[in-house]
Amino acid sequence: MEENQIAELLIDTWRDVQQPAIFWQLGVLALCLLLAGLISNRLRALLRRRREANPDLPRGAGEEGLRRVIFPLTALVLVLIARIVLVNWHHVNLLKLAVPLLVAMAAIRLTVHALKRGFPRAGWLASFERFFAFGAWVVVALQISGVLPTVIDGLEQIGFTIGKAKLNLWMLLQGVLTVLVTVLVALWIAGVIESRLMRTEGLDPNFKLVFARLSKALLIVLAVTIGLPLVGIDLTALSVFGGALGVGLGFGMQKIAANYVSGFILLLDRSIRMGNLISVGSERGVVSQITTRYTVLKGMTGIESIVPNEILVGSVVQNETFTDPKVRIALPIQVGYATDLEQAMAILVAAARLQPRVMDDPAPGAFVEAFADSGINLQLGFWIRDPTEGTLGIRSEINLEIWRRFRAEGIEIPFPQREVRILGGGAVLDQGHAAS
């Protein structure tokens, strides 16, 4: 609306408020909002029942966006229809004033929805949503009150020069808003592309992540290069500043850049995938998330370790589930020298076979490892196919079963002892001895 039109609308609305006929407009507006609420609740219920009837049905960006704008768009349509019908008998200035408010509400909700699609795990989005909504309503209030043109004139008076380009605050603000809109559209498109890629059958998950992130990055760059020229900002005017900033950031962000490049390498060469059990340095866990900068390992204790991708590319990584999820576990057992070794080894194998996680092929086996000072070292080796479930539990169960059977058969597990002898001259000599 033009400034004069807004002023006239506000004056006419104030005059209507002083007349009894305003109750007709208030009643119609309240009825439109009530009907819009009922219709939106009905549509949400239909979508919810459709989701419950088909749990595996993918939820797209369009459905989520529809849920957020059902009420303001429905109310807007009803108000427009009521305004057309009521204009023949009464003034409709209040209904005219409600139209930009409903449009602003729909725009705010769509914008926040696009941000949530673009940044699904962003913790700052909740606070930004409130800030953005507040700013948008302030702009709408300035527009309705007729103050916005005066504010724009003031911003245009504050100008400065960058190179050969002359800019002002209003132009920069327009550039920021235009870029924001184009970036939001790009993020929405990227969200749609990502959801389609994740539902694609036969495509490696790593390639899905790579294509989704590359498409998001390219769309954001394209949005910026399109948005700035739309408001008359020449990109060449920012080339000098951008070049200096790029050189400075290049020296200070080498590690970050290396991590991002390493992240794409990991996603492309598929050496580490989601769900792999890996060990790097002192960290061991299941890969629960791979981003372009870091990889998250969830340890068996539930603690998550954030490992920079540069370390995964430049270090030796033990991937226990790279090509074959089967792993071998070795349990060391020591028995006394008087023990029947064949009987002890049979007990070890039998204790392992009792566990359902122990594989039959390869079969568990017991071995004589070494003749030590305190006893004979045996080793029980067995294979499991699910190392991501942890090994402490199964090792504990097997050790308990071995201890029970050794005690029942009278097989002792030796332990070091110290024997003290007092010689005739009063000297003391300590000599190690093992009980068997």
Q: Are residues 72 and 10 in the same domain?
A: yes
Q: Which of 270, 292, 319 is the last residue of a domain?
A: 319
Asked, for residue 226, whether it belongs to a domain, the answer is no
What would the mean pLDDT of 217-221 be, rounded to a whole number? 79
Would you say residue 311 lies in a domain?
A: yes
**CA atoms of 193 and 337, how far apart (whole Å):** 68
Predicted confidence band of residue 239 (pLDDT cuts 50, 70, 90): low
- The pLDDT assigned to 335 comes to 93
Q: pLDDT tier at 244 (50, 70, 90 boundaries)?
A: low
* Cis preceding-peptide flag for 362 (omega within 30 of 0): yes
State the residue range of the domain holding 411.
Answer: 327-417
- Other Cβ atoms less than 10 A from the Cβ of 166: the count is 11
| Share of residues in the chain with pLDDT > 70 (%) | 70
- Cβ atoms within 10 Å of 50's Cβ, excluding its own: 11
As a whole number of angstroms, the distance between CA 210 and CA 372 comes to: 54
What integer is the mean pLDDT of 236-255?
58
Mean pLDDT score, 201-230: 73
State the sign of the Cα–Cα–Cα–Cα dihedral 64, 66, 71, 72: positive
Instruction: Say whether both 336 and 407 belong to one domain.
Output: yes
- pLDDT tops 90 at residue 365: yes
Alpha-carbon gap, residue 269 to 210, rounded angstroms: 11
Within this chain, do residues 50 and 74 fall inside the same structural domain, yes or no? yes
Separation between Cα atoms, residue 435 and residue 369, nearest integer Å: 20
Residue identified by tokens 């064949």 is 342
Report the DSSP pairing between strands 428-435 and 415-422.
antiparallel
pLDDT at 23 over 80: no
Q: Of 60 and 125, which is predicted with more confidence?
A: 125
The pLDDT of residue 51 is: 66
Residues 338 and 302 in one domain: no
Q: Are 129 and 11 within one domain?
A: yes
* Residue 63's pLDDT band (cuts 50, 70, 90): low
Q: Taking every pair of C-alpha atoms in the chain, what is the biggest distance, in angstroms?
A: 129
* Claim to verify: residue 386 and residue 263 sit in the same structural domain: no
Domain boundary among 130, 146, 162: 146
First to last CA, the chain: 99
Statement to judge: residues 286 and 360 lie in one domain = no
Q: Residue 285: give its domain's CATH number.
A: 2.30.30.60
Cα separation, 392 vs 369, whole angstroms: 22
- Residue 367, helix vs strand vs coil: strand
- Token pair recorded at residue 360: 């039959």
Strands (E) located in 201-340: 277-280, 283-290, 294-298, 304-308, 318-319, 327-335
Does 132 lie in the same domain as 18?
yes
Q: Examine the domain organization and report whether 292 and 264 are in the same domain.
A: yes
Is 90 exceeded by the pLDDT of residue 398? Answer: yes
Does 435 score more than 50 pLDDT?
no
Look at residue 399 and tell me if it is in a domain: yes
Q: How many domains does the chain have?
A: 3
* Shared domain check, 339 and 268: no
Pair 51, 122 in one domain: yes
The CATH code of the domain that includes 346 is 3.30.70.100
Is the model's pLDDT at 249 over the cut of 60? Answer: no
Decide if 331 contacts 378 (C-beta within 8 A): no
**169: in domain:** no
Q: Is residue 425 part of a domain?
A: no
Judgement on whether residues 291 and 343 belong to the same structural domain of the protein:
no
pTM of the shown model? 0.46
Q: Is residue 8 domain-resident? A: yes
Scanning the structure block, which residue is given the tokens 């226990």?
320
Asked whether the predicted pLDDT for residue 281 surpasses 80, the reply is yes
Of the residues 281, 301, 319, which one is the last residue of a structural domain? 319
**Comparing 352 with 106, which gets the higher pLDDT?**
352
Neighbours of 153 (CB within 10 A): 10
Q: What is the pLDDT of residue 436?
A: 44
pLDDT band at 108 (very low <50, low <70, confident <90, very high): confident
